């Protein structure tokens, strides 16, 4: 059972380049999330998607865009990468027991992104 799969695992970008981080889950979850983890900062929510076709900003959305392609896939795009976006990015998904009440989130293994 794959759970949450992220690609790529590692990426180095030059300042100004663009890229898309891919995420797919096979648990039939409605809710999906993108977090970033920085040293000493914990995990911070970038964007989330409560269901297919909807996306909302989290705590740190600037410089990112997302697409909820279908129920399984949620991608994160950096249009013009900056060194401040050097981080580890985690995708997650969670089950919604009833409207607005989500249980624990399941995380992918992360993408380590370096912007030089």
Partner 1 sequence: DQQVKQNSPSLSVQEGRISILNCDYTNSMFDYFLWYKKYPAEGPTFLISISSIKDKNEDGRFTVFLNKSAKHLSLHIVPSQPGDSAVYFCAASVSGGGADGLTFGKGTHLIIQP
Q: Report whether 111 contacts 13 (CB < 8 A).
A: no
Asked if 25 is part of the footprint of partner 1 (rule: CB under 8 A), the reply reads no
- Nearest alpha-carbon partner for 16 in 79, 75, 98: 79
Cα–Cα distances (Å) from 52 to 35, 36, 40, 73, in that order, read 18, 22, 33, 9
Within 24-109, residue ranges assigned H as helices are: none
Q: Is 30 in the site for partner 1 (CB under 8 A)?
A: yes
Choice from 55, 81, 94, 115 touching partner 1 (CB under 8 A): 94
Q: Does 55 bind partner 1 (CB under 8 A)?
A: no
Q: Which of 7, 17, 52, 58 binds partner 1 (CB under 8 A)?
A: 58
Residue 71 in contact with partner 1, rule: CB under 8 A: no
Out of 41, 53, 77, 83, which residue is the one contacting partner 1 (CB under 8 A)? 41
Is 74 a residue that touches partner 1 (CB under 8 A)? no
**Cβ(20)–Cβ(8) under 8 Å?**
no
Cα separation, 89 vs 37, whole angstroms: 6
Q: Which of 19, 22, 43, 86 binds partner 1 (CB under 8 A)?
A: 43
Query: Between 17 and 95, whose beta carbon lies closer to partner 1?
Result: 95
Size of residue set near partner 1 by CB under 8 A = 32
């Amino acid at each position: 059972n794959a759970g949450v799969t992220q690609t790529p695992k590692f990426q180095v970008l030059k300042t100004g380049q663009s890229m898309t981080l891919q995420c797919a889950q096979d648990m039939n979850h409605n809710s999906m999330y993108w977090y970033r983890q920085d040293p000493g900062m914990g995990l911070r929510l970038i964007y989330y998607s409560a269901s297919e076709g909807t996306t909302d900003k989290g705590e740190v959305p600037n410089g990112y865009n997302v697409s909820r392609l279908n129920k399984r896939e949620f991608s994160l795009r950096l249009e013009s990468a900056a060194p401040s976006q050097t981080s580890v990015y985690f995708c997650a998904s969670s089950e919604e027991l009833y409207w607005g009440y989500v249980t624990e989130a399941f995380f992918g293994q992360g993408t380590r992104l370096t912007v030089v």
